Amino acid sequence: MLNKKIADIFYDIADLLELEGVDFKPRAYRKAARKIEGMKEDILDYYENDELREIEGIGKAIEEKINEIIETGGLEYLDDLKDELPEGLIDVMKVPDIGPKKAKKLYEELDITDLDSLKESAGSGEIREIKGFGRKTEDKILRGIDMLEKISGRHLLNEVLPLADSLIEYLGPDAEMIEKAGSLRRLKETIGDVDILASGDTSKLMDSFSNYADVDEVLVKGETKTSVRMEGGIQADLRVVDKESFGAALQYFTGSKEHNVELRQIAIDQGYKLNEYGLFSKDDEKKVAGEDEESIYETLGMDWIPPELRENRGEIEAARNSELPQLVEIDDIKGDLQCHSDWSDGVNTILEVGKAAQEKGYEYIAITDHSESLTVAGGLDKQEIQEREEEIRSAQEELDIKLLSGIEVDIKKDGSLDMDHETLERLDIVLGAVHSNFRMEAEEQTKRITDAFSTGLIDIFAHPTGRKIGEREPYKVDMREIVKSARENSVVLEINASPQRLDLDSLDAREAKDKGVLISLGTDAHGLQHLDFMKYGVGIARRGWLEKDDVINTLSYDELIDFLKGR
């Protein structure tokens, strides 16, 4: 989509300008990028109607740049910036604790131009010799690079899933059957590459696939498999199989590897052989199943296992005993329990958020703006919360769904809450969250959080580990203690559905469920398009074995209000 492309260009410009030490411009470009990225409308419409300037954050200069991008496909200004400083420095800045100043200094002093040269220099110990740097910084750089490498080559769900869906739609007419496979079908938090399985006219499918508009380069093109690299560096594989083997291939290519190893062993034990072509009897090599997945699982004496559970974490045994959970589904979700309005750092008005939620068919949505101490996000004080109340009331009059007046209140370093208790008690819903002092020791951090729980004022603990995938490690915390305290204080733990958070992760979510703690799903939307993140949260919930009753978003509005009042 063009909005995304333009936004990405502006983000790059902002980074490069920051490296040059330019003031304020980066902020202007980021603001414009965020606005464009978050718009529901196609920016092309604004361009065609000559209305770009009406978008907040777009003035004369940025309008001209958008025109240039639309008309020429590129932007000279960005090319010039890249000539002045190596593009790889943008990656260097992704290492925690390296910002524009340090990145530029590393470039000037040690000729570090990208992550590779940074790693080399940090490893050789020459970074600590630079003024302003030291041993600790050097260590931290090495650890930071490690983290980045761990997810390098992997992509967030929200980058990959829409891409896979449009590919499937595009290939659909040529295919008799077509499905996502791999970690994408299992809805894993990060995705290596896009796996698509199809049956139909092989050569036609392969040709269509390699001629897809977003394909940058065809890597492999063969009889059964074609691999391409798409715009943005994501690799996509298309495999074509016979219709008779589709189920077996889908099972095989969905994985996980661990699940498949276990399943194949079970097949052997029962006198079968399982591979991507089917389930075969060992005696006469006759195919006994394979056209669909269900027949394979059934023949092996178990229920069909939803892809999200296929991690060899007990699902096979449960399937054999017909004890698989009835996993929560997206259609069970009646509302979104974390989102931000323009009262804090969201881009949309409360009414806009409410209308969008209404269009999604929700019964309710919680407006949970930040509290005062999160100044970067324009957090609200007591007075502003009261003023916001007015707007919520008037928005409510125009809506068929219910707005919950809420807050995402900061849990301060000492475990106290960043808002007076009377105000919190008056609100419909209170999310507590940690946004500062990430580096406390586990014991201290845990106490901070459990102390906050014991105020009795927190309904939901938001993004419980604070991780940002590929950007920030979770803070150190004793999750078992948190879960225990949540149970004791009737605090609900959130699965934050934002694809870069997905926090709790599926393992912690399952642990919470096992200990009798309820889960809430919140998209943490800062723009309307983020409301669509709910499906990723549901994915994590499913991977965490959660059922409808484990998730409070499945409650009707009345039930939810009763629950919040009664807890």
Partner DNA sequence: GCCGTTTTCGGCCCGACTGTTTTCAGTCG
Contact with DNA (CB under 7 A) among 12, 15, 37, 63? 63
- Does the footprint of DNA cover residue 439 (CB under 7 A)? yes
- Does the footprint of DNA cover residue 268 (CB under 7 A)? no
Q: Please report how close the Cβ of residue 369 comes to DNA at its closest, in angstroms.
A: 13
Contact with DNA (CB under 7 A) among 1, 261, 376, 442? 376
- Does the footprint of DNA cover residue 101 (CB under 7 A)? yes
Contact with DNA (CB under 7 A) among 9, 16, 39, 58? 58
Could you identify the residue written with the tokens 């979770």?
474
Contact with DNA (CB under 7 A) among 97, 216, 298, 359? 97
| Residue number, 147 or 399, with CB nearest to DNA | 147
| Residue number, 5 or 476, with CB nearest to DNA | 476
Q: Please report how close the Cβ of residue 450 comes to DNA at its closest, in angstroms.
A: 19
Q: How many residues bind DNA (CB under 7 A)?
A: 52
Q: Please report how close the Cβ of residue 477 comes to DNA at its closest, in angstroms.
A: 15
Rounded to whole angstroms, the Cα distance separating 128 from 283 reads: 67
Structure tokens at 329: 């589904």
| Residue number, 57 or 232, with CB nearest to DNA | 57
Helix boundaries (H) for 133-242: 135-151, 157-171, 182-185, 202-210
Rounded to whole angstroms, the Cα distance separating 82 from 124 reads: 28
Q: Mask of contacts with DNA, 468-497, x by CB under 7 A?
A: x--xx-------------------------
- Best CA proximity match to 132, nearest among 101, 176, 154: 101
Rounded to whole angstroms, the Cα distance separating 470 from 542 reads: 22
Rounded to whole angstroms, the Cα distance separating 412 from 373 reads: 9
- Does the footprint of DNA cover residue 442 (CB under 7 A)? no
| Residue number, 156 or 328, with CB nearest to DNA | 156
Q: Please report how close the Cβ of residue 422 comes to DNA at its closest, in angstroms.
A: 24
Burial of 440 (0-12, 13-18, 19+ CB in 10 A): middle
Q: Please report how close the Cβ of residue 36 comes to DNA at its closest, in angstroms.
A: 12
Rounded to whole angstroms, the Cα distance separating 448 from 413 reads: 7
Q: Please report how close the Cβ of residue 470 comes to DNA at its closest, in angstroms.
A: 12
- Does the footprint of DNA cover residue 25 (CB under 7 A)? yes
Beta-carbon contacts of residue 233 (< 8 Å; ≥ 6 apart): none
- Does the footprint of DNA cover residue 110 (CB under 7 A)? no
Which stretch in 27-35, 400-408, 498-506, 555-563 sits in contact with DNA by CB under 7 A?
27-35
Beta-carbon contacts of residue 180 (< 8 Å; ≥ 6 apart): 164, 168, 194, 195, 196, 197
Contact with DNA (CB under 7 A) among 98, 175, 238, 337? 98
- φ/ψ of 547, rounded to 5, equals -105, 175
- Does the footprint of DNA cover residue 23 (CB under 7 A)? yes
Q: Please report how close the Cβ of residue 468 comes to DNA at its closest, in angstroms.
A: 7
Which stretch in 22-30, 173-181, 237-245, 419-427 sits in contact with DNA by CB under 7 A?
22-30
Contact with DNA (CB under 7 A) among 20, 50, 61, 108? 61
Structure tokens at 40: 């529901």
Instruction: List binders of DNA among 311-370 (CB under 7 A).
Output: none
- Best CA proximity match to 327, nearest among 341, 310, 344, 342: 310
Which residue pairs from 30-36 have beta carbons closer than 8 angstroms and sit at least 24 positions apart in sequence? 31/57, 32/57, 32/58, 32/62, 33/6, 33/7, 33/8, 34/7, 34/347, 34/527, 35/347, 36/3, 36/6, 36/7, 36/10
| Residue number, 279 or 434, with CB nearest to DNA | 434
Instruction: List binders of DNA among 113-142 (CB under 7 A).
Output: 128, 131-138, 140
- Does the footprint of DNA cover residue 150 (CB under 7 A)? no
Rounded to whole angstroms, the Cα distance separating 83 from 79 reads: 6
CB distance 450 to 488 below 8 Å: no
Rounded to whole angstroms, the Cα distance separating 113 from 143 reads: 18
Contact with DNA (CB under 7 A) among 378, 415, 470, 474? 378
Contact with DNA (CB under 7 A) among 9, 32, 205, 538? 32
Q: Helix/strand/coil (H, E, C) string of 18-30?
A: HHCCCCCHHHHHH
Four-CA torsion 234, 235, 241, 246, nearest 10 degrees: -40
Instruction: List binders of DNA among 165-194 (CB under 7 A).
Output: none
Q: Mask of contacts with DNA, 399-428, x by CB under 7 A?
A: --------------x---------------
Contact with DNA (CB under 7 A) among 27, 225, 282, 426? 27
Contact with DNA (CB under 7 A) among 42, 45, 51, 59? 59
Rounded to whole angstroms, the Cα distance separating 79 from 11 reads: 14
| Residue number, 16 or 296, with CB nearest to DNA | 16
Contact with DNA (CB under 7 A) among 74, 99, 222, 233? 99
Q: Please report how close the Cβ of residue 511 comes to DNA at its closest, in angstroms.
A: 25
CB distance 370 to 408 below 8 Å: yes
Rounded to whole angstroms, the Cα distance separating 471 from 501 reads: 10
| Residue number, 72 or 322, with CB nearest to DNA | 72
- The strand pairing partners of 196, in sequence order, are 180, 238
Which stretch in 329-337, 430-438, 451-459, 530-538 sits in contact with DNA by CB under 7 A?
430-438
Could you identify the residue written with the tokens 């807890």?
567
- Interface with DNA (CB under 7 A): 23-25, 27-29, 32, 53, 56-63, 77, 93, 95-103, 105, 128, 131-138, 140, 374-378, 413, 435-439, 468, 471-472
